[in-house]
Amino acid sequence: MKTRTRSINKPAYWHSTGHDDQESETAHAASPPERPDEALPDIDYGPVFDPSTSFRSDIVIISKGDMIIYVENANGPRQYLVSSTVISKTSPIWQYWIETANIDNKSSLCPRIFIDNTDPQAFHIVALLAHDVNNGLPKIVSSEVLYELAIFCSRFKTKSLVSLWVSGWIEQLYPEAIEAGSLRWLYIAYVFEYQALFESHLHHTICTTRKQAKSDCLLLEAELPPDVLGTISSAQNEILRRIFSTCSQYFEEQHFKQRAKCYQGTDEETKHACSVYLFGCFLAAMRRNGFWPVLQDPSECCLSPVEVREKLLAFEIDAYPLGGDHKPCSELYQFKADILVQSYTCRMEEYEEHFKTPMLPPESAEGSVRNMVGSHLWNIPHWPKHTFDDIYRFDQPSTPPELSASLTPEPCGEEDEEDPWTETETDDSSD
């Protein structure tokens, strides 16, 4: 991101829309400069803008503005007429830029600040809130806009200005926010301090995100801070170490025979023959999948923990020569159970400091919305499609009776059969 200041006069073709009851006005070009049609970006800003002006690039936030903010991203440029005094109060960053622009352009009637790589919709929302023009704000925003707003607030330190409104927008997107793991929602929850929502998406990200060389997370969509990236990378390496450690134990024949039992043999000779054959087939299957004789260093593995686990759970033993009765033995239930359930330790101290200050006061209505979102995730955990403790959702073959009890998890947070969508009063400490 870079900024430039340039001295210009207020454009002659800017004028009010005629809405005297609103401070927020949209600039109509009486004689706009001619330009190719392809230069006019078709951006759908939703209810924030008058549809009749959706193709125009000049927006008046306040008619008595004294500064133009020029915002541009890949979708095209937008210009906003704002009050420099109001914008300078939104954050120290804006205060510095505006003071610098005013000093450099003392003779200018309307200095201009250029900002690139910034979403115009995010700036528009912040500018409306800064000028207290709340009637121009949208009632509903998409998760894409929330994500861009989170990036803007993180870069320009304007989170406190939008927090109250973000709460209502997230409430309306609540089903989407908990439906599946998302890097965007992970970032939104981090910036706006929804800790329960953040940790839920963090769990999904740790389990499913691929890695590059040297343990760097392949997170191209979200601009996560280093402490969160470090937490993800550390947890992924720990899961992979545990998986590979389990595999290495099964490479020892004695350990394999103890864990991979014969369920059909009636005498020791038959059980021994079954174990010997299974052990050889197991090593052959591990070789085909690249896990034997040498296991990869977890820090150099580029697959996600879920992908590694699925490869280990998917391999099949060749046709069993001892008869169809021994087919259950070849399923290796105990090995797959040991691989299926893996734990990891999140270095919460890396990011816990970020969530110490509540985003909203608990007595406010918006605070109860935040508690509802967080409490719902605590009481009914957010299980993504693939996690390391949802074995009851994993498609696995029928389990022998003697293993059924050990593989069936206790119900998690389902003692009360209340409607999870019913808003209830909750204690803030649960969040």
Greater pLDDT, 45 or 322: 322
Share of the chain above pLDDT 90, in %: 20
Which of 177, 156, 337, 330 has the alpha carbon at shortest distance from 246? 337
Q: Which of 83-92, 267-276, 316-325, 333-342 has the lowest mean pLDDT?
A: 316-325
Within 13 Å of residue 306, how many CA atoms lie on the same side as its CB? 17
pLDDT tens for 315-352 read 877 656 766 677 788 888 899 889 888 888 776 666 77
CA–CA separation, 88 and 82 (whole Å): 10
CATH fold of the domain at 1-137: Potassium Channel Kv1.1; Chain A (3.30.710)
pTM of the entire structure? 0.66
CA–CA separation, 271 and 322 (whole Å): 10
Tokens of 375: 């409490």
Q: 109, 10 in Cβ contact below 8 A?
A: yes
Which residues lie across from 3 on neighbouring strands?
115
CA–CA separation, 285 and 283 (whole Å): 5
Q: How is residue 37 annotated by DSSP? A: G
CA angle 154, 157, 159 (to 5 degrees): 80
Q: What pLDDT, on a 0 to 100 scale, did the predictor assign at position 267? A: 84
pLDDT tens for 130-181 read 999 988 899 899 999 999 999 999 999 999 999 889 988 988 888 888 877 7
CA–CA separation, 179 and 388 (whole Å): 18
